[in-house]
Each structure stands twice: as structure tokens, then as C-alpha cells.
Chains A and B, each alone.
Chain A
């Protein structure tokens, strides 16, 4: 199996401006000069990129999915201002502060490995194949806090099907954008995480109906700090499995090490299923703080097996989840 390691001078597909976007911009500039003055509505339309147009169209017709919960949703401001996205820094407020330095339009996804339809796809291509739905999921962070978030996107299975993976595709691996110029956390000298961030799942986990690809939350396009423009959401696993700002999908026969496994193998396993019975070596996973939590109401609640999604239990039949944590 060939693993291509791009040199730092080699632009990743997402960094290359497609000709259509470049020409659009030209056209727009010309238009605005000749028209002299443009009505606001006309201006907005002329300035829209193909990705923006595709997102806007899809977000205007979101179906409500039966995957939902009546639990109180975490307010938008907290969902978008309290994030772990180490590519932008280690403080929870860093992503909201610095993620705007990442360019998310245009965006493309490189698909490789054991599949019939490999290649580079623009995000607007991908969106055009999909029906968009809203799912309200619990998100349980390995740090013992949790949120309830209304995501907008499509099932991972429906995306994977498009690429026609073969029988050798036992695992699906994902990669986040690697661009130290845009992601200041990737420039940190003290990071124990190797960039780019890599995550993965077994194929049967990936095509489970609960596995989701989000392009938005609270009915809007994903803010950069939440992993724009395309991220994974796997609600029965700890949050770090739900990799953000995905640029690559690989169908592999053998398992790779994920970023956190490499960083601290005794603390973070490949599966990382939410499990109150298996503690993190440094803290208990029996409970979680459902955010917002405060001194008046700490909001500590018991953590449920598979984060309250027992329908995935079949995937792990006969496995010792203490060993395969």
C-alpha cells in the first residue's frame, strides 16, 4: 500500500482555487464596475461561490430526521465558542478566535484506497448527491463534559456507498486539513499530536445508520471552529473521534494508528466508545457535566453506555471492551 506524504510546498487540493471560482470572481468584479451600483440582493448573488450556492440551497430544505432527543439543546453560543480543535490552540476559546484563519471555500475531498470511485471531489459535487437532514445528537467529550447539538448533514453510509468500496476496504480513515499557515496550533512546538489529525473506524461502524457527516448546525452552515465545511459525527464515541474539516477519506485493508493513539496509546484506544465502566487513566468516565454547567447547577449526570445509543452494541458482540477501549 502506498502512502503519499505530500511535501510542505505541494499545495493540497483544497488550497487550489478552481478555475470556475477564479473566473467567477473576475466576472463579478467586471459586473460591479459596469453596473456602478448594485442592489444588495444582486450583490449577494454575484458574490456567491459554487459551494455557498450549494450549501444555501441544501440548507433551505432540511428534513427532520427521527434521530433526535427531547433533551435540552446546548445553546448555539456555547456550541460555537467552547471547542476542542487543537489545530487552532489548546484553550477552549482558541478555535472560535482563530478558526477564521482557515480557508474553507473552495473545499474538496480526496478519496483513495480500495474503492471503485476514487479521486478528488468538490464539496458542492458531494452536496448535490445528498439529501440533507437534521439530527439531534448527544456529544460526549472524553474530558467528561457533554452537549446536545442539532447537526445538519447526511449519513456517512450514503456517502461511502457513492465511492463503491471493495471487499478489501475493512477500515475507513479520515484526515483533517494540514496547513500550518492557516492553523496556528499546527505550528506549536510543544504539541504531542502529530499533524495532520487522523481518525478512523471499522467499515461496519462507518456504515452504521448513526454515523453522520455534518455540514451545518442549528440550521446554518458549520462555523469554522466546529469543523467546517465537512466533519464526522459519531455520537456513541468520544468527541475526538468525530474528526473535523475533512480533506481525505481512505479505504484501507489494514488499520492505521489514529492521532490520539499515537500521542498517548494507554489513554486513547482505536474504538473509544463512550463507556462509563472504563475510566480514562486520569479521570473517571462514570459521570459527565452536561453543559452549560455552573456553580449554581453543576449539572452532573451519569454517563450512559455508548452515550445512550444501545443500538450499536451489536457491532461489538463478543469483544472485551475493557481491552478494546
Chain B
């Protein structure tokens, strides 16, 4: 794609395709329920979707550094904000429909997976609120160290999922494997191994 028009088209394509899970969730929730326990199903779907967008956000930098695919870079913030969006919907359905809002405190105290999920959300919210360009400029070096908290968030999110496994841990293991891979790619030693053949694609 060349020129401003082309770039705009790609942006809109990304923006709309990333919103597809939202429209799918609306469709399941209000038009054609997927089953008799649709609130729970949509809740879990939105949670999974938020996790996937978090992993996509985390894969942007390794894709650029190790595979030379830099085009995704422009969409890193968009992917991260979508993750926050889906996480917010997930959280609202939990405390708005699945349990009483008045049970918020009790749930946080009594259930470690809820607490861990809520902590992850607070981190994501902080990252989302500081994501505009002017915040980036204003915060300078501190912006980068704050946004490293995404690594903490992804571990918390994984724990949130793993703690809810019942009978079968296959799904949590799959997400865990991707998480570990994406984190490993940030370890300087592992990075070096990749970089040997890829000079010219370094520096952030």
C-alpha cells in the first residue's frame, strides 16, 4: 500500500477486523444465543479475546526484531487498547450480571483468581490511560519503564486463567506456552541468538 489513502485504508481494516469479536459477542448475546448459559459463554469468550489481544500486542516487537516484519508496529497501541476494551467488557459482565456488584469486595478477598484478574486489569488500565502520544512525550523515560508492566500483566492474566481450570488444563497450557515464548524473546541472551543473523533490525 502506498500513500496516505492506502495507509488509512489499512488502518481502518485493522480497526474493524479487531472489532469483529465484539460484534460476534453482541450477536451471541442478543440475537442468536449460543446456548442456555450464554452470559457465561460470552463472559469467557471476551476473557479469551482479551488474552489473545494481549498476546498479539506482545508479539509486535519480536515480529519486528526477529522477522523484520515492521508493519505491525503502527498497530501495537491499537491492539493493546483493544485488549483493554475486551477486558473491560469481560469485567463488567462479571460484576454486572454474573454476580452482584455488591459482592465485589467479597469476591476480591475470597477468590484469588478474581483478585489476580482485577490486578491485571488495573495494570492494563494504567497502560491504556498513558498510551496517547502526548502522555508518551510528557513521561519520557518513565513511560518505557511503566509500560514494561505489560509483562507483569500477562503473567497475572495467565494465572487468572490457570486458576479456573477444572478437570482439564490443556487450554491454560497452550496460552502458557505462547506467553512463555513471547517473554523468552525478551531475554537479552535469547535475543542475541536471534540477532546474530539479523543485523540492521535492532534498536528500539
Contact = CB atoms under 8 A, between A and B. Distances in A.
Interface of A: 74-75, 78, 81-82, 86, 90, 92-93, 143, 145, 188-193, 263-264, 279, 281-284, 287, 289, 291-296, 298
A92 B173 contact: no
Given A282-B113, A284-B99, A74 B36 contact: yes
A82 B29 contact: no
Contacts of A190: 168-170, 173
A82 B37 contact: yes
22 contacts: A81-B35, A82-B36, A86-B168, A92-B37, A143-B166, A145-B37, A188-B168, A190-B168, A191-B168, A192-B167, A192-B169, A263-B167, A281-B111, A287-B99, A291-B36, A291-B37, A293-B40, A294-B33, A295-B30, A295-B38, A298-B97, A298-B98
Interface in B124-181: 163-170, 173
Interface in B21-48: 29-30, 33, 35-40, 42
B196 interface: no
Contacts of B74: none
B111 A298 contact: no
Contact of B35 (A82, A188, A284): A82
Interface size class of B (residues with CB under 8 A): 20 to 34
A78 B168 contact: no
Interface centre among B30, B113, B166 (most CB of A within 10 A): B166
A172 B97 CA distance: 40
A295 B39 contact: yes
Contacts of A287: 99
Nearest to B28: A295
A284 B97 contact: no
Contact of A192 (B40, B98, B106, B168): B168
A283 B106 CA distance: 11
B87 to A, nearest CB: 19
B103 interface: yes
B4 interface: no
Interface centre among B30, B98, B107 (most CB of A within 10 A): B98
B36 A191 contact: no
Given A289-B40, A294-B39, A282 B111 contact: yes
B189 interface: no
Given A190-B173, A191-B168, A279 B36 contact: no
B3 to A, nearest CB: 44
Interface in B169-204: 169-170, 173
* Closest 6 pairs between A and B when the two form their complex, measured CB to CB: A190-B170, A292-B36, A291-B36, A78-B36, A90-B168, A295-B29
A194 to B, nearest CB: 11
B168 A293 contact: no
Contacts of B30: 295-296
Contact of A86 (B33, B111, B167): B167
A174 B135 CA distance: 63
Contacts of B170: 90, 188-190
